[in-house]
Amino acid sequence: MAKVVAVCKSKKKGTRKKAAVEGILKEDYGLVGDAHADCCTHRQVSLLAMESIDKMRRLGFEVGPGDFAENLTTQGIELFSLPIGAKISIGKNVLLDVTQIGKECHSGCAIRQEIGKCIMPKEGIFARVIHGGCVRAGDDIGIEKNG
């Protein structure tokens, strides 16, 4: 079963995020208290799989949840293989709509500056919050690929 490994946020864009005990995902906004949350974008929440982070670890990099500026670190789902429009349910209330797979890595990315490589452009995904609620490490994740 797929699960949330970490909920991460930061006050500034372009920096690593720190894991929090829990977070509130607000409908059509994002993770409350995170610099990337915004009502006017399709990239309200970012997700990256622990399996992707583990690829970087196997290359010798000391990285963990939040280091790639993702809001939610997951386990048990190959996120980048999900289609645009897939729905991700988290816990009992949260529902996300996948809006983008990968991204262009900007030169100001903290992880790219520190280690010279970032996995977010190929394996990270972005979503819009359809139904908000509390999210925490250990929450179950469900996927509906047909949107």
Check: CB of residue 138 under 8 Å from CB of residue 4. Answer: yes
What would the pLDDT profile of 75-123 be if each residue is shown by its tens digit?
Answer: 999 999 999 999 999 999 999 999 999 876 655 556 666 666 677 778 9
- Among 3.40.50.10710, 1.20.1250.20, 2.40.33.20, 3.20.20.120, what is the CATH number of 2-144? 2.40.33.20
Check: CB of residue 72 under 8 Å from CB of residue 6. Answer: yes
Q: Which amino acid is at 75?
A: Q
Check: CB of residue 124 under 8 Å from CB of residue 82. Answer: no
Collapsing DSSP to helix, strand or coil, 23 comes out as strand
Nearest Cα residue to 95 out of 46, 42, 142 = 142
Q: For position 145, what pLDDT does the model report?
A: 79
What would the pLDDT profile of 25-50 be if each residue is shown by its tens digit?
Answer: 999 999 999 998 888 889 999 999 99
Beta bridge partners of 136: 22
What would the pLDDT profile of 135-147 be if each residue is shown by its tens digit?
Answer: 999 999 999 876 4
Q: Which amino acid is at 102?
A: G
